[in-house]
Structure 1
Amino acid sequence: MDITEGVDFNSMQFVWPIIILFVSMFITAGIARLIFGMLPKSILNFLVTAAALLGAYIWAIPMEMGFYEFFR
C-alpha cells in the first residue's frame, strides 16, 4: 500500500501560497514597525505581532483558507 499515491511532490502548488503568506506577514509587520517605532519595545513587539496576525488574515481571505476549508 502506497500512502503517497497521487501526491505530486514536485509541484509548486503548495509552496507559492506559503511564500505569499510570509511576504504578507513581513510587509504588514514592517509597516507597523515603521509607524510605531518610537514606542517602548514591549508595546512595539505587541503591535508588530498583531500586525503579523493581520497579515495572515489578509492572506487567508483571498486564499479562501477559513477554518472549515483548511481542515476539510
Structure 2
Amino acid sequence: MSTSEYKKVYNGNFILVTRIKNELERIGIIPIIKDEGESQRLAGYGSMNQGFQEVFVLNDELDKAIAIVEQIKAEMEASS
C-alpha cells in the first residue's frame, strides 16, 4: 500500500471500523482495513493492539470518506 495513494481516515475499535467500512462501501468506496494486532497474532507475537484497526481510502475518495466518518462520530457522540 503506497502512502501516496491512500490516506488514513479513522482508527479505533473493531465495532466502529466495521460500521464505517459498511457505510463507505454503501456509497461505493472500498476501504483498506489495517489490523496490526491481528497481523502480530498471526505472526506469533503478542499484541497490545487487539481490536484496534485503521481505515484507509484512496486519495480521490478522501473528502467523501471523511464526511462519512464525521457523521458516524457525531452520531456516536449524540447517543452517549
Which range, TM-score by smaller chain? 0.3 to 0.5
Higher strand share: 2
- TM-score, with length taken from structure 1: 0.37
The structure, 1 or 2, with the larger RCO (C-alpha pairs under 8 Å, 6+ apart) is 2
Higher helix share: 1
**Which structure is larger by alpha-carbon Rg, 1 or 2?**
1
